[in-house]
Structure 1
Amino acid sequence: MYRVISLNANGIRAAARKGFFQWMEKQDADVVCIQETKAQVHQLTDDCFSPAGYHCYYEDAVKKGYSGVAIYSKQKPDKIIRGFGIDEFDDEGRYMEARFGKMSVVSVYLPSGSSGEVRQDAKYRFLDAFTSHLQKLQRRRSEYVLCGDWNIAHK
């Protein structure tokens, strides 16, 4: 059995300063999925972002300080998949999948529509595209653990 933790960090560097990685170490999780990292991989060179015993994978946004997801895993994944094939959202670092044999763990960060109609429309586009992606995953007949910040309430 896997122990999986999912967390919206609201900035992985800020979370690190507040003791997140010390907390994570005590949890003994097999996989930790983080959403809203708000950092690019070149900003995560400090040793605290590579905790002992974990393989670290980041999917950052093109825009600095915006969205992004991460997966930390004790076991090295067979494959890491970054994005789900829709440039508009892949450029925002919203999806990463770690495959371990017939099981995959996904870290996903859905767009928030709370900033206005334009972003709410983007969220609807994401949901449509992501639904299609999930249907493709379902046809694979593998096991999936979906972790994420779903940003589902927009009002």
Structure 2
Amino acid sequence: MPHLRIATVNVNGIRAAARNGMSSWLDEAGIDILTLQEVRGQDEHLEAALPGWSFVHDEATAKGRAGVAIASRTPAIASRTEFGAADFDSKGRWIEADYLLGDRPLTVVSAYVHSGEADTPKQDEKWKFLDAFGTRLGELGADGALALVTGDLNVGHRELDIKNWRGNRKKAGFLPRERAYFDRFLGESGAEITAVDGTIGTGLGWVDVGRRFHGEIDGPYTWWSMRGQAFDNDSGWRIDYHLATPALAERVATYHVARAAAYDQRWSDHAPVVVDYSY
């Protein structure tokens, strides 16, 4: 059965990723669409790192920070960067592009959610982003559409998603309020959802492809701290996602976290998440 292979990765700087081996990985990975976060560069840097690829790119307001892009073997049909309220600076954090999955339209998003910091203005920006995220998910998921939100979403949804979850319960990335957003994003569509923080909201019905594919296991993690032996001990976080509408989730054929074989073989502190979607 034919498939479209879509990967997402926070490159932690496109120029550094290219220097450190991203191209060699791409030569072997067979990727059709690659969503990128923390590009930290301009169009010319993407062109140099991804020769022959077509891409759409949204730079952050501040040079050398954030930045999201979607690279593809065939050009996107259309793209959009509008996201959230007009007074909210989301540049470099959300980009959508439309492609074909067989003969059906497919919207692919590259998203980079703020890392945040509990009880600071940085966290306030994260709350704004997650609010806008939920609104857009409701729009993208309407009428049985095929849509996919990928990226570094900087929230570990469940205890299975962080090795040291007990030590991170009061830290950004695993705060109950952050996790509650994902309870609603992934809750049954239209159902009343009581979230982990005790709030009640309406489920949006999206599917966490990685969790559905792997079931109730720890991880597989996608990011590891540079501290200590986190990578070698696989003491990581699962914060890089494929979130799919139900119609698209039914087409998942394979899911794979492309974790490097050794610490010194990594070209980013995040591992690519690679999924095949059949058509």
| Bin for the TM-score computed over the shorter chain | 0.7 to 0.9
Q: Report matched runs for 1:9-28 at 5 Å.
A: 9-28=11-30
Partner of 2:184: none
Q: Among the aligned pairs, what percent are the same residue?
A: 33
What is the distance in 2 between the residues matched to 1:116 and 1:35? 25
Partner of 1:75: 74
Q: Assess if the C-alpha contact under 8 Å between 1:21 and 1:51 holds in 2.
A: no
Change (3 A) 1:25 1:48: farther
Task: State the Cα distance separating 1:151 from its structure 2 match.
Answer: 0.7
Partner of 1:33: 35
Task: State the Cα distance separating 1:14 from its structure 2 match.
Answer: 0.8
Higher-Rg member (1/2): 2
User: Is residue 150 of structure 1 aligned with residue 153 of structure 2?
Assistant: yes
Aligned length: 151
Q: Which amino acid aligns with 1:33?
A: T
Change (3 A) 1:77 1:33: same
Q: Assess if the C-alpha contact under 8 Å between 1:57 and 1:71 holds in 2.
A: yes
Q: Assess if the C-alpha contact under 8 Å between 1:33 and 1:71 holds in 2.
A: yes
What is the TM-score with the length of structure 2 in the denominator? Answer: 0.50
What is the distance in 2 between the residues matched to 1:94 and 1:61? 7
Q: Assess if the C-alpha contact under 8 Å between 1:7 and 1:33 holds in 2.
A: yes
Q: Report matched runs for 1:43-122 at 5 Å.
A: 43-44=44-45, 48-52=48-52, 54-87=53-86, 88-91=88-91, 93-101=92-100, 102-114=105-117, 117-122=120-125
Task: State the Cα distance separating 1:67 from its structure 2 match.
Answer: 0.3
What is the distance in 2 between the residues matched to 1:86 and 1:25? 40
User: Where does structure 1 lack aligned partners over 5 or more consecutive residues?
Assistant: none
What is the distance in 2 between the residues matched to 1:10 and 1:77? 24
Task: State the Cα distance separating 1:85 from its structure 2 match.
Answer: 4.5
Task: State the Cα distance separating 1:73 from its structure 2 match.
Answer: 0.6
Q: Which amino acid aligns with 1:60?
A: E
Q: Assess if the C-alpha contact under 8 Å between 2:55 and 2:75 holds in 1.
A: no
